[in-house]
Structures are given as C-alpha cells and as structure tokens.
Amino acid sequence: MEAVILLVVFIVLLFFGIPIAFSLGISSMTYLLMKDISLTIIPQRFFTGMDSFVLLCIPGFILAGNLMNAGNITNNIIKFSNAVFGHIRGGLGLANVGGSMIFGGISGTAIADTTSIGAVMIPGMEKSGYDKPFAAAVTAASSTVGPIIPPSVPMIIVGSLTSISVGKMFLAGALPGLLLGLGMLITTYILSVKRQYPKGAKFSFDRLIHEGQGAFWAILLVFLILYGIIGGVFTPTEASIVASLYALAVGIFVYKSLSWKKVPAILLDTAIATAALLTLVGMANVFAWILTSEKIPQMLADGILSITNNKILVILFINVILLFVGSFMETIAALIILFPPLLKVAEGVGMDPIHFGVMAVLNLMIGLTTPPVGVCLFVASEIAETPLKRVIKALWPFLLCNIIVLLMVSYIPQLSLWLPGLFEK
C-alpha cells in the first residue's frame, strides 16, 4: 500500500510541474513517514548516491563544454558544418545536425546542445526561409546525438551504477551515435527536398579548409579524450580535467575569445549545473532504495520474464518501458531507478551489459524530445518562439527516424560491441 502511495505522490507532483528532484524527495519522505522509518535514511542514501569517483567526471565535462562554448566554439562548429553541408538542398538544416554531432562530443549533454546550437541556428534558418517549427524540430532532435557520442554524462551514470567501464561505454556509444546522426541527416535532406528549402553557397575547398581550421581544436578534443581513456593515459575522471584545461587554453590562446574575467562566471554556472545534477542523482538514489526495499525491481524483472523468455520480445518490451518513462521522467533519474532491475532482465535473456547500457541511454535520449516532458522540445520551442504543438507536429519524422535507429541498435549488438571488442584485442 505504501509503495502505491509513493508512486501516486510522485506522479501527482510531476503532473503539477514540481522539479523531478523535489518530486523524488517529497514522495520518498512521504513513504518513510508512513512506514515510520527514520528520516536519517534520506541524507544517508543521498550521500551514497553521490559517493562515486566516476561521478567526478560530470563537473569536469560540464566545465569543458561551458569553456568551449564561451570561447566561441559553437560558431566555429556551425561555420564548419555549413561549409560541409551548406551547398546541398536544406544545407542549414544539415549543418544544424552536423554541428550537434560535433558539439555533443564536447558537452556530453543534450540540453546544452539545444541551447547553444539552437540560439544560433534557429534564427539563422528562419531568416534563410525555413519554417520555424522545422528549425526547432531539427535542433531538438539532433541534440539527442550528444549524449550518445562520447563523452556522455548518461554513460558516466551507467558506469557508476554498474561495474561497466566508462571508457567502454564511451566507445560503445560512438557507432550508434554516428548512425543516429546519419539517420537525421537523411531525414532532414528528404524533408528539405520535398519542401524546397534553400541551398547555400556553392561548395568551396578553400572555405572548407578555412572553417575546418576554426573547428579543428574542438574536434581534436573529442579524439584527445577517447585516445587518453582507451590508451590508458588517464581515467575518465582525469580525462574530464584534461578536457577542461585544454578548453581553457584553446579559448584564451587559440580562439582568443575567452578572457580570464569570464572564468569566474563560467565556474559558477558549472557549479550550479553540477549541483542540480548531483542533487537529482542523490534524490533518485533515495527513491531507488525504497523501491528496492519493497522488492519492486525484482517484481518488475520477474513480471517481464513471466510473460515471455523470447529475447526479441523482451528487448521490445524493455524499449517500450524506457520510451514511456523517458517521455515524462528526467534521464538521470530514470537511469538510476530503472537501469539495475532492467539490466537483470536483459542479462536473463543473454544481452551484454554494455549493449544494454547503450540501448537504455538511447531510449531515454529519445524521451528528451517526446511529449509531455521532452526538455529539449520545450527549449527549442522557446528559442523559436513557436507554439509547442507546431514543433511536435514537425518533429514526428525525426522521432520515427530515431526509433528505427533504436531498433537497429537493440537487435544488432555489434553496433555497440564492435569498437569496445576491437580495443580489447
């Protein structure tokens, strides 16, 4: 009975727009009071949820993304993407997707991608003759690539919840991330041709080389992070610090658009973003502990496997659950609460934990653009100053594309396991 009330209180609070961290905390406290359990369990489990060395990656990568963004990296990435795609029909839309793929490999978060790329590309696409809803939809959809291509904050969370190496998770997300980006490039091109969106200037190698020099340092950072982790030069946590120092040096000495005066404000923004994220992690751990004590994860796992042991159907069922949850729950909270029990189900039908981790993250990333609580959807709609209903209507082709890629990743394990296996040999 108490478990039912816990879930009902949580859902009601979400419905009234209470931030998810507080919804988790209030519903957990309600349960503990009903069960007459000491409230000291809240700070204990809250601290335990954050007490992970791996989670130290998060502030480092957030800081690196903020420094690169403040150092004019976003404009350089967009110019380079435009030089590559601009001459094609719908070139600005394609550049939007390409820019998100590069920028996502720096920030590791979808919301940062939507905000940074969208603030430049949505107004630019509108001026060039694109529909506002389409511009917002492309921006929101392509931002989901960021947390799949390494580095990735959700992949770090998966590593902290299991014994899976964060480095292997980063590698496992590379091919699915590229496949997701390619799918959105194709979708954008088809829609652009159908609607006769404009082309940009003719392709020029000189322009490509010139803009490539501006984006070179950003692209190099992604390879630096991956090489350092894979080559054993540093741990993922150390990689985040290296990335921050690199971003600071490039912003000040290479792009020369970042001054020391901006650094305190960037550090403050990073601290606020990190605090918000870790508060969510802590509260989600309290909630997950209660669910575990009520044996709900085990009941969920047993319930799914009692319906069928068929691997194809179980994977499909897990996808439906994650897509549904991702449409109204924040990614990090959903991972902490659902990943451990669903991992047991996945392993029960022979799925590799790394393969399942990539599939789970991809599911929840799609949720960021799915009504009713798709955060990236709201951000893009706000930037475009367009009613949410129109953006949702324009988004459906991209959601369909993302789900096709999700099914490919779900049923073709080598898309996730090939690169990690290659570097084990």
Task: Show pLDDT as tens, one digit a residue, over the chain (425 residues).
Answer: 677 888 888 888 877 778 878 888 898 898 888 888 888 888 888 888 787 777 777 788 888 878 877 776 767 777 788 788 877 888 888 888 887 777 665 655 666 667 767 777 788 788 878 888 998 899 888 888 877 887 777 888 888 888 788 888 888 988 998 899 999 999 999 999 898 888 777 777 887 888 787 778 877 877 777 777 777 787 777 888 888 888 888 888 887 888 888 899 999 988 988 888 888 888 888 888 888 787 777 777 778 878 888 999 999 999 988 888 877 777 788 888 888 888 888 988 899 999 999 999 999 888 878 776 677 777 788 888 888 888 888 889 999 999 999 999 999 999 999 988 887 65
195 is written with which tokens? Answer: 């609607």
**What is the reported pTM?**
0.80
pLDDT at 90: 83
- Integer Cα distance of 357 and 341 in angstroms: 12
Q: How many CB atoms lie within 10 A of CB 118?
A: 27
- Integer Cα distance of 318 and 351 in angstroms: 12
pLDDT at 241: 86
Q: Would you put residue 350 in left (φ > 0), alpha (ψ -120 to 50) or beta?
A: left
Residue 320 CA, chain-centre distance (Å), reads 19
What residue ranges in 95-224 does DSSP mark as E strands? none
Question: Which residues does 207 contact at the CB level (< 8 Å), separation at least 6?
Answer: 83, 201
- The domain segmentation of the chain, as residue ranges, is 40-424
pLDDT at 268: 92
Q: How many residues are there in the chain?
A: 425
pLDDT at 104: 63
